[in-house]
Structure 1
Amino acid sequence: MLSAGDHGFPFPILIGDIGGTNARFALLVDTYAEPKQLPPIKTGDFPTIEEAMQKSILDKTSVQPRSAILAVAGPIKGDEIPLTNAGWVIRPKDMLASLGLADVLIINDFEAQALAVATPADEDLVQIGGGSIRPSSSRVVLGPGTGLGVAGLVFAQHTWIPVPGEGGHVDIGPRTERDFRIWPFLEPIEGRMAGEQILCGRGIMNLYRAVCAADGEEPVLADQAAVTTSALSGSDPTAVETVSLFSTYLGRVAGDMAMIFMARGGVFLAGGISQKILPALMRPEFRAAFEDKAPHSALMRTIPTFAVVHPMAALSGLSAFARTPRDFGVATEGRRWRS
């Protein structure tokens, strides 16, 4: 962890949120400046992150960063970090050599999302259901997107400490009679049903096809956007049920994570899908499933749930950390490279 005597990262700092589909960047010139957001990059448009950063960022700005703090979708082990849902392999030593950087820190993408909910602005949140935030208490972030990201945020010794993990890969099972009809038609991963098999973009399609199959119907909607749009407009009953079930299952997993972390500080839904289906999440299904955790339902009713509507929440969290790293308990051992 950064010690009290560590002066942090040399400015300017390039901060980045590298997901399975998109890579979003911003430049932080100094401690007091607002981050300058840069055009997002499709990860599939470039063979490597170095080429993407060079052609899309460094060649187009007069401000050359000295440091990079990047949040990536995947576990960080060693000098080669493959992304879970994209073709890039992050090689920090290559970034130091080829991009002229002096300092590179790689953290988990949902670690950055967790940093963003330490002190969120009211306008960046929409509360779903009841409950209220207990100050200085643990929090959880879940984000259905290309995959299902999960991270905790623990407050200890006057410091917010993000806890990354792979919570999106926990097992998820049927509970209701309807679930048991649908479950045989869901596509598993190596013989089991992980949360991410349902609670992400491709998971919506997995669920939609399973609902169709359970009812003996042919699927007519071709992609996630068509399903969510049809569901929100009410134009397709199967799509409506699919998104309703998605909300229910997301509520169950969110409730599980809330109990694991005893997240009296709140549970926060990040990512683009949560924003797109917010009207569905505001219906009773999500919150009812979240609270339905006997014998602890009374406790669950006190824990608030929110949708994060900040368009660049991860970059906001990274910016807060980059400005004052000693205010956060972000582990850097094995994840920081310097020239």
Structure 2
Amino acid sequence: MTRIVADIGGTNARFAVAHSHQGGYRLEAVQVVNCAMFDDFYSAMGQWIEGLEGARPTQACIAVAGPVEKTPEGGRVTMTNLGWDIRAEALCRRFSLDRALVVNDFAALALSLPRLPEEDKWALRDVPAQAGGPMVVLGPGTGLGVAALVHDGGNYRVVPGEGGHANLSAGSDRELELLRILARDQMPVYNEYVLSGGGLVNLYRAVCALHGRQAEALTPPDVSSRGLDGSDLLCRETLIDFLNFLGSAAGDASLYYVARGGVFLGGGVLPRIESLLPESQFEQRFTTKGRLGEWLKGVRVEVLKAGYPALIGAAAWLEI
């Protein structure tokens, strides 16, 4: 069976055709487009579909960043940052589909976890995962996505989340000072105000203020590249602080879902800066949770490699 799958973020839209293959899926006709180039979602998808060769699939699953409203037709979402309105019934009507689903992007990412080969991830905390235990995935991108996957009577069930809007917590005196600075512009300071692409810039400005320095007008890629090559020590500090805060948020997510099946880190930001994870205090922040710190030491943490896991998860949604 072939299916249309898409992963729509605040910056890029990814489209592909998914073929059932050896118990999993093979992606073909993969295309990534800049969302800003299109007035609406249907224009972006329509341009991609026009380039397809052969018979078009008659089923589609669209994974979208943001809270999705369930409907009898298959779901709908309004992406406020883009002004895009995506509805399952409109997909069926416009593209002659028999079935369409609209799901949260991290709900799709969660459903991909049991289907990803080992080469698509690497262990940051290499401890055994509990077979059938709850799994949680989170990752900074345009926002901070969070979702869980639980075993339910032999099948997996996705538990979507909006953990990006939970409040960010401090794990050190330095982080407490950074939160005080951040709170001048945003009170309370929620997770994705720091743990996202735009949040990386917010954190950079706070680090500059902590040092009494004037922040430059940098983009998230600027902060990442300068921090990674060591040309700007404040950018370097920002990346380390970012990973430390991420460790704390990942530990929180593990506790929320009792994630003995593992915590998985994804999103668009982390693959660019994951080389700094060993230099950061990610693990200390992950396990510093009071009386449950020892319990957290038994939770496996894996990093998803760059690729298209949400597209795999979107294909799997059509089998539910």
TM-score above 0.5, yes or no: yes
Any stretches of 5+ residues in structure 2 without a counterpart?
A: none
Residue of structure 2 in register with 1:277 after alignment: 273
Counterpart among 12, 18, 32 of residue 22 in structure 1:
12
Counterpart among 23, 27, 41 of residue 33 in structure 2:
41
- Asked whether 1:70 is paired with 2:70, we answer no
Residue of structure 2 in register with 1:97 after alignment: 93
Counterpart among 20, 37, 48 of residue 56 in structure 1:
48
The residue matched to 1:271 in structure 2 has which SS? coil
Q: Please give the per-residue CA displacement for 1:191-213, whole angstroms capped at 9, x wherever unaligned.
A: 31110100000000000001101
Contact 1:231 1:243 in 2 (8 A): yes
Counterpart among 78, 84, 91 of residue 88 in structure 1:
84
Change (3 A) 1:187 1:90: farther
Once residues 196 and 188 of structure 1 are traced to their aligned partners in structure 2, the CA distance between those partners, rounded to angstroms, is: 16
The residue matched to 2:269 in structure 1 has which SS? helix
Report the number of matched residues: 314
Counterpart among 256, 263, 273 of residue 259 in structure 2:
263
Contact 2:171 2:248 in 1 (8 A): no
Alignment of 1:97-246 (within 5 A): 97-186=93-182, 191-220=187-216, 222-246=218-242
The residue matched to 2:31 in structure 1 has which SS? coil
Contact 1:130 1:302 in 2 (8 A): no
Once residues 151 and 192 of structure 2 are traced to their aligned partners in structure 1, the CA distance between those partners, rounded to angstroms, is: 27
Counterpart among 226, 246, 253 of residue 249 in structure 2:
253
With the length of structure 1 as denominator, give the TM-score of the two structures.
Answer: 0.87
Question: What is the CA distance between 1:58 and its match in structure 2?
Answer: 3.0
Structure with greater strand percent: 2
- Asked whether 1:13 is paired with 2:3, we answer yes
Amino acid at match of 1:75: P
Residue of structure 1 in register with 2:296 after alignment: 300
Change (3 A) 1:44 1:130: same
Once residues 21 and 120 of structure 2 are traced to their aligned partners in structure 1, the CA distance between those partners, rounded to angstroms, is: 22
Question: What is the CA distance between 1:151 and its match in structure 2?
Answer: 0.2
Any stretches of 5+ residues in structure 1 without a counterpart?
A: 1-10, 327-339
Contact 2:122 2:303 in 1 (8 A): yes
> Matched residues, percent identical?
33
Change (3 A) 1:80 1:284: closer
